[in-house]
Chain A
Amino acid sequence: NAGVTQTPKFQVLKTGQSMTLQCAQDMNHEYMSWYRQDPGMGLRLIHYSVGAGITDQGEVPNGYNVSRSTTEDFPLRLLSAAPSQTSVYFCASSYSNPRTGELFFGEGSRLTVL
Chain B
Amino acid sequence: GDSVTQMEGPVTLSEEAFLTINCTYTATGYPSLFWYVQYPGEGLQLLLKATKADDKGSNKGFEATYRKETTSFHLEKGSVQVSDSAVYFCALYYGNNRLAFGKGNQVVVIP
Task: Name A's B-contacting residues (CB within 8 A).
Answer: 4, 31, 35, 40-45, 48, 50, 56, 58-59, 90, 92, 97-100, 102-108
Contacts and interface: CB of A to CB of B under 8 A. Distances in A.
Interface of B: 32, 36, 41-46, 51, 89, 93, 96-104
A40 B96 CA distance: 25
A103 B98 contact: no
Contacts of B99: 45, 98, 103
Q: Which of B32, B36, B44, B100 counts the most chain A CB atoms within 10 A?
A: B44
Q: Which of A43, A44, A100, A103 counts the most chain B CB atoms within 10 A?
A: A43
Contact of B93 (A35, A43, A59, A99): A99
Given A50-B97, A98-B93, A103 B46 contact: yes
A78 to B, nearest CB: 20
A45 B98 contact: yes
A104 B43 CA distance: 8
Contacts of A106: 43
A42 B97 CA distance: 18
Contacts of B103: 40-42
